[in-house]
Structure 1
Amino acid sequence: METNRKRARLIYNPTSGQEIIKKNIAEVLDVLEDVGYETSAFQTTPEPFSAQTEAERAAKAGFELIIAAGGDGTINEVVNGVANLENRPKLAFIPTGTTNDYARALKIPMGDPVAAARIIEKNQTIKMDIGRAYGEKYFINIAAAGTLTELTYSVPSEVKSRLGYLAYVAKGAEMLPKIKQRPVRIEHDHGVFEGQVSLIFVGLTNSIAGFEQLAPDAKLDDGNFTLILVKTAKVFDMLSLIIQAMNGGQHVTDSNVEYLKTSKLTLEVLDPDNPFMLNLDGEYGGDTPVTLEVLKNHLEFFVNMDEISNDALSEEGGN
């Protein structure tokens, strides 16, 4: 009889995407068993922080691997469940959501839970950077602020499920004329920025809101955020930046953009009555002022290393 098999816990959101994981759960469990993990499953509930609470419980119970199946929100919760623990399990991701920014960055197959689970068979992992905000909230892809980023909160989840990314595009087009600048002070590794900005992106990967060129030189493991400040609020300027971003990341040299690398930053709005709402991995995280910091190589993720560009990794790379 086999003893000492490693244990894995699959935490899945049954309502994510088109409920695709429900149809594939048995096959996904078979793949994990074949790889050598004794695997059990947990279905998230509508209770707040359901995935986060279960991830923390499983990690403390000594599970060696936690697999998050769902959208970016589910993976964010799982990360928040384990990130502050001393002994952290390895993590894997089965993307079944609408935008799946993190899956794009890690080159995990989307819309096919069995193919995503098979990535674990390849046994390729990277120790990934994550971000921390307010000293206690963790994010894996982006912290963002500005009128356009607030649209995430106003697209109903059933519309997101039905229309996917088109829901954001439609809402974004509607909100473009409403964008306004706010005076900010941002302290970062290289100094201080003071001035008017309309949008702030603090990215950990190159895939932000479905754009894979917003931070074209982002590395997954170098201990740095990519800070992007958009200084204009004019509709034509914004459209120009979007076109440049889609056209090979040319926006990074535009005069309306500040673009730099930093391991930490503090953001405050100089008009205290009009703070920015901070968007962490697509969900509301809190208001400014806020300090953000990178935790370098903090979590070990199973990834599709064969598909990840060498440019996305620092010299050390993955395992």
Structure 2
Amino acid sequence: MTETRRLFLILNGKSAPREDVRSAISRVRDAGHEVAVRVTYEPGDVARFVGEALGADTRPDAIVAGGGDGTLNQVVAALLDTHGQAQAAPSGQPAVGVLPLGTANDFAVGLELSTEDPGAALTLCAEGEIRTIDAARINERVFVNLASGGTVTQITREADPRAKRLFGGAAYLIAGASHIGRLAPSNARFSAEGFSWEGEFLAMAIGNGRLAGGGVPLCPEAQLDDGLLDLTLFPQPDADHVLGLLSRLLHETEAPVEGYAKTTRFSSLTVESDAELSLNLDGEPMQAKSLKVEVLPGAVRFVTGPAPKGLVS
């Protein structure tokens, strides 16, 4: 048997009643691992629970985010806020695991983790390999997967949740088509080492991970442990090609950026705009006119499978 671990599961309150989640916890406990469970109820709970885990006499081996990408974001942000965001993860820092229970689970899908079997996902948190991955920061906000902005962010936010459940990525295309008459482009100036661009764009993505919006590979070449972030920019097309681009962005599964987007890799990026830019950081909203983006190399110890996609090592 593998060495037992102490898991501290922070479970999104929406998922607490699920029988498959309860069965997953029982399965892992029956295998000899410890699982402490905390259920979120209101804003601030995740940070408070992370503080509780770090302050325990016996720290957990892994803090598990039970929910969607937003729950994972909050766990990582709280952990980095405690340990500092400008240095590699200290050896005593608990690893982070994920029990994917959200609608999209883009981070978990990008790592090819189980999203259909909570028992398998939680077992992996108890028995999987721990690797060091990067995180990222925009101004004072942390993300671990991907930050997106522009019209696509607006569509993602406004898509009917019921349609997302029924149609998946096609729901975003439906939302885009219904708003085609008012899809105003954003305008900004981007500057990184060896890269400069200014103009109108339909969408932008800054990726530590590869996927967003329900499995769309906005940053298809991004790697979680290379010490860099990927920028993908979609310049504003002419009016006759807007819907076609939206279809590629929101519905295709194979590298929709190829041949159209402007891309670069960077460790530090500045974005300046005369108007507020709306962003989505791992499912969490943000607005700002000026963005300072930087990678946080090796900031998080993360539980992964044996050969996860999206990692160099």
Shorter-chain TM-score range: 0.7 to 0.9
* Correspondence for 2:48: 53
Contact 1:153 1:284 in 2 (8 A): no
Q: How does 1:252-271 map to 2 (within 5 A)?
A: 252-254=258-260, 257-269=261-273, 271=274
Alignment-mate amino acid for residue 296 of structure 1: P
Please give the secondary structure, in 2, of the residue aligned with 1:53.
Answer: helix
Pick the aligned partner of 2:222 from 197, 218, 226. Answer: 218
Q: 1:198 to 1:95 in 2, by over 3 A?
A: same
* Correspondence for 2:87: none
Q: How does 1:74-93 map to 2 (within 5 A)?
A: 74-86=71-83, 88-93=93-98
Instruction: State the distance in 1 between where 2:271 and 2:185 align.
Output: 15
Alignment-mate amino acid for residue 81 of structure 1: A
Please provide the CA RMSD for this pair: 2.7
Q: How does 1:58-77 map to 2 (within 5 A)?
A: 58-61=53-56, 62-77=59-74
Measured after TM superposition, the shift of residue 83 of structure 1 is: 1.5
- In structure 2, list runs of 5 or more residues that go unmatched: 84-91
Q: 1:142 to 1:183 in 2, by over 3 A?
A: same
Are 2:25 and 1:29 equivalent residues in the alignment? yes
Q: 1:102 to 1:236 in 2, by over 3 A?
A: farther
TM-score (norm. length: structure 2):
0.84
* Correspondence for 2:39: 43
Measured after TM superposition, the shift of residue 291 of structure 1 is: 0.8
* Correspondence for 2:116: 111
Q: How does 1:72-151 map to 2 (within 5 A)?
A: 72-86=69-83, 88-135=93-140, 137-151=141-155
Q: 1:88 to 1:178 in 2, by over 3 A?
A: farther
Measured after TM superposition, the shift of residue 268 of structure 1 is: 1.0
Instruction: State the distance in 1 between where 2:186 and 2:277 align.
Output: 8
TM-score (norm. length: structure 1):
0.83
Measured after TM superposition, the shift of residue 71 of structure 1 is: 1.0
Q: 1:32 to 1:226 in 2, by over 3 A?
A: same
Q: How does 1:267-278 map to 2 (within 5 A)?
A: 267-269=271-273, 271=274, 274-278=275-279
Pick the aligned partner of 2:200 from 189, 196, 205. Answer: 196
Instruction: State the distance in 1 between where 2:233 and 2:306 align.
Output: 30
Aligned residues: 299
Contact 1:278 1:288 in 2 (8 A): no
Contact 2:276 2:287 in 1 (8 A): no
- In structure 1, list runs of 5 or more residues that go unmatched: none
Please give the secondary structure, in 2, of the residue aligned with 1:253.
Answer: coil
* Correspondence for 1:313: 311
* Correspondence for 2:89: none
Aligned-residue sequence identity (percent) comes to 28
Runs of 4+ off more than 4 Å: 155-167, 242-245
Q: 1:157 to 1:88 in 2, by over 3 A?
A: farther
Measured after TM superposition, the shift of residue 216 of structure 1 is: 2.0
Contact 2:109 2:215 in 1 (8 A): no
Instruction: State the distance in 1 between where 2:254 and 2:161 align.
Output: 31
Q: How does 1:7-18 map to 2 (within 5 A)?
A: 7-16=6-15
Deviation readout 1:90-110 (Å, 9 max, x if unpaired): 011111111110110121111
* Correspondence for 2:179: 175
